[in-house]
Structures are given as C-alpha cells and as structure tokens.
Amino acid sequence: MKTIAIYHNKGGVGKTTTAVNLAAAFQNKGKRVLLIDIDAQANSTFSTGLIKFQFEEDDDLVKSNVFQLLESGEFNFIPEIVRKSNGFNTPEIDVVPAHISLIDSQDRLTKLAASRFRLNSKLQKVEDSYDITIIDAPPSRDIYAEIALIAADYLIIPSDMKPFANQGLNNVKAFIGEINETRANIGKAPLEVLGVLASKILTNNQYLKFVFPRQKEAVTQRYGFPTLETVIYERVALSNCVNKTIPVGMMEIPDPKSIFEFDRDCDSVKEFRNLSYEVMTKIGA
C-alpha cells in the first residue's frame, strides 16, 4: 500500500479537489483506494457525499470519524470507521470521514505523544486491503497535519502558484524537516515529495505565456521543490461538480460528484487522468 498526503499550509489552493478526484481516478483504474479526511473543515467528507443531513440530530458522523482512530491505539480501527462514499463516483471509494468536532479534540491529542503515531499504526493493519491511501491534511501546522505527514510515504503539495502560496513553501519545507526527525525516531524513511502540483491555474493565454512559467520556475529555483508535470486548471465543471444538489421536498440536499461522474468528457477529467498516471509512475503503483 502506498500512502500519499495532500498538504499545503495555504488554504484555497485546490487541496481537497485534488484529494477526492485523484482518489476517484485511482479507483476508476481498478485500484483499491482509501481516502482519509483529517481536516476539521471536513471538505473531503462533504465532497464524497457523506454529509447529506441538514440538521444536527441527523448527524451520523459525530461518533464515527477520524478522531475515533486517533483517540486510542487499542480500539476503533479503520474497518470499523470506514464507509463508502455516497453517490460520489462509480465505483464508490472507501472514506474515513472528518468532523467539525476535531477542533474541540485538538488540545487533547496534542498533549498525547502517542496520538501522532496511531494513524500510521492503524494503516499498517490494512496494508493488504488497499493499494493506495490518500490523506487530505489540513492547511496548518497542527497535530492533524503532523499525523498525516508521519503516516504518509509521499507528499503532493497543491499550489495555485500565487505569491502567498509560493511564499508558504518555505514553511512547508521547515515542517517537512521537523516531520522527518520524528519519522527517523520511529525508523521510518523521510517523506518523499512527489512535487508541487499547479492547481486552480487560470486558462488566460497571456497569464500562461508570461506569468505562469516564472511562478513555476520559482518553485524549483527559490524554494527547492520539484514540480509535477500535470497542471490542474480552474474550470467551471471542476467547481460545479462539488456544488451539485438535488431537491428533496422543500430542501436542496448536497449531491457532490467526482469530476468523472459529473462530466466524463470535460478537460478536467483528462487532467486528473494524467495526474493519476504521473503519480502511479512515480510511486510504482
């Protein structure tokens, strides 16, 4: 099993879009895929159709989410927490959901050193059940980001290549250095950075000709990260697929789709297929 974290400490750079659609791309290629949402914003959980409820009393995630994996090393293992995505993709993918209550649990986990290694340990128990695990990490340097990067084998860093996102790469590099010290202490190899993924990139010809090449060059020359060849452009279909709804009585219920389910003929599908091929080649999957 290969485990890939999707992480940048800058929000709004396409992290969740990358995580869920890359997971769908792998699943569509016949890979056995596990998607873990460890971000309190629960965007991957929403995007895979697991937040259909409109009222708090109908919340079926509050007592069965990624926190339950982290609170103890002796119970609540992945097969007990995982659930299928709901109307997201054909075939559906296995998801360990997140929940807003992760915010309230953060201090408790931070004080327990062992909590940083529980996801890593529990993933080892299902390494024969999945080919690829994708972890959607939060855009921060908190305990949840630590847990994700300790558990992962590889890292993809989505970036819209704008100044704040690129400047944040120095913080990402420092964080990776700290994580690698921790990994060494448990006998784990350093985290392998697959590259910075250019995402949410404008399709304006002038921008692509004059600005984008300089931004991409800066990632390598100024910040020392490799870049992935695939580019994920900002497209209407990619935005609309996660915001799809269906009417139920007087309400509109979220009905998000993978880009493959939403419009199989759109350019974004080709981009995520290309990304999946590139990543599979790099990790030998």
Under a CB-based contact definition with an 8 Å cutoff, are residues 114 and 16 in contact?
no
Q: What local confidence, expressed as pLDDT, does residue 51 receive?
A: 83
Which tokens hold the place of 204?
């304006």
pLDDT at 251 over 90: no
- Residue 66 confidence class, pLDDT cut points 50, 70, 90: very high
What mean pLDDT comes out for the span 264-269?
96
Residues in the chain: 285
Instruction: Tell whether the torsion through CA atoms of 147, 10, 155 and 89 is positive or negative.
Output: positive
pLDDT value, residue 245: 81
pLDDT at 55 exceeding the cut of 80: no
How far is Cα 44 from Cα 148, in angstroms, rounded to an integer?
Answer: 14
Quick one: CA torsion of 15, 154, 114, 48, rounded to 10 degrees? 40
- Give pLDDT tens digits for 184-225: 999 999 999 999 999 999 999 999 999 999 999 999 999 999
Query: Inter-axis angle of helices 169-185 and 143-151, to 10 degrees?
Result: 60
Q: What is the DSSP secondary structure assignment for residue 211, as one 8-state letter?
A: I
Write the CB contacts of 217 (distance below 8 Å, at least 6 apart in sequence): none
pLDDT tens across 219-245, in order? 999 999 999 999 999 999 999 999 888
pTM for this structure? 0.95
- Please report the DSSP string for 51-120 in residue order: ----SGGG-SSTTSSHHHHHS-SSS--HHHH-EE-SSSSSS--EEE---TTHHHHHHHHHT-TTHHHHHH
Name which of 64, 63, 61, 35 is nearest 50 in CA terms.
61
Beta carbons of 275 and 22 less than 8 angstroms apart: yes
Q: Cβ distance 233 to 268 under 8 Å?
A: yes
* Domain chopping of the chain, boundaries: 2-283
Mind listing the pLDDT tens digit for each residue in 1-45? 999 999 999 888 999 999 999 999 999 999 999 999 999 999 999
What distance in Å separates the CA atoms of residue 66 and residue 64, rounded to the nearest whole number? 7
What's the CATH fold of domain 2-283?
A: Rossmann fold (3.40.50)
| pLDDT value, residue 137 | 97
Does the structure show a pLDDT above 80 at 248?
A: no
pLDDT of residue 117: 96
3-class secondary-structure state, position 143: helix
Mean pLDDT throughout 55-72?
A: 88
Q: Note the pLDDT tens digit of each residue in 138-174.
A: 999 999 999 999 999 999 999 999 988 888 999 999 9
Distance separating alpha carbons of residues 65 and 67, to the nearest angstrom:
5
